[in-house]
Amino acid sequence: MKIKFYGTRASIPVCDWKFLEFGGNTTCIKLTRDNGRIAIFDAGSGIRKLGAELTNESFSQDQLFIAFTHFHWDHIQGFPFFTPAYNPNLIINILAMGRDREIENLEGIFKDQMKAEYFPIPLQAMGAKFNFLQIEQNEIEINDVLVQVIKQNHPGGSYGYRLKDNDKCFVFCTDIEHGESIRPEIVEFCKDADLLVHDGQYTNEELESHRGWGHSSMDQAIEVAEMAKVKKLIITHHDPVHNDVFLAKVEKECQKKYPNCFLAREGMEIEL
């Protein structure tokens, strides 16, 4: 299993030379299984580059799953620019798993952001066939992969994902706020993961003035990793004001506390 980052930024894309190392695109991750088949998590602006790479590589997979943690703008804004979605030979499964998802019309979320007022091409004219899968379960099996989700504390709701493929485990928990203490059910969800990718938008000081915004501090991400005994931690969802110099400094501080810890960079690829 390989995990590659195409978007690591929170809230809004950032285009500036001071943000080149860690990246300015919003959330998007590609997972590649050992058999070569891929799946995608979230469709922030980073999915545009991912789509271009797949097209250049003559991507021929007949079906593709895009799993969503939630549907805030920074996690869906890249979807209209995802080149494979214009391929009439491709089936794209839009997956929203989890009990108590507050979604009335999953397809409508994508149609609405592509109305004529906002975008020149409507969803129905993109070309690919779309299946909108709103599954009211916290655990399913897809193509021999065990997929589990957990509801997270975030305005409007978000869901963390845990994937078990053969003997490897990947957990993705972004857009999550823990409160005064780490939720034990989150620790259990992340337990013994080979790789945990966790929200760490704020420093401890910043978190105090952003209570209720739905995000974690970097130290909280480390605390989850320690309590869950994960093998590797990647901190993501970088605040749009945190430039490369700041994040590089913070990364060194984080590694003093948890040695196998890194801050996500666009283009970073991790093999489990």
Nearest to 219 by CA among 200, 234, 205, 238: 200
pLDDT computed for residue 179 by the predictor: 87
Nearest to 222 by CA among 265, 262, 170, 189: 262
How many residues are present in the chain?
272
Residue 46 to residue 66: CA distance in whole angstroms:
13
Sheet containing strand 168-173, strands side by side = 139-142, 145-152, 158-165, 168-173, 195-199, 233-236, 261-263
All structural domains of the chain, each given as residue ranges with its CATH number in brackets, are 2-271 (3.60.15.10)
pLDDT computed for residue 234 by the predictor: 99
Tens place of pLDDT per residue across the chain (272 aa): 999 999 999 999 999 999 999 999 999 999 999 999 999 999 999 999 999 999 999 999 999 999 999 999 999 999 999 999 999 999 999 999 999 998 989 999 999 999 999 999 999 999 999 999 999 999 999 999 999 999 999 999 999 999 999 999 999 999 999 988 999 999 999 999 999 999 999 999 999 999 999 999 999 999 999 999 999 999 999 999 999 999 999 999 999 999 999 999 999 999 99
pLDDT computed for residue 253 by the predictor: 98
Find tokens 């779309």 and name the residue. Answer: 130
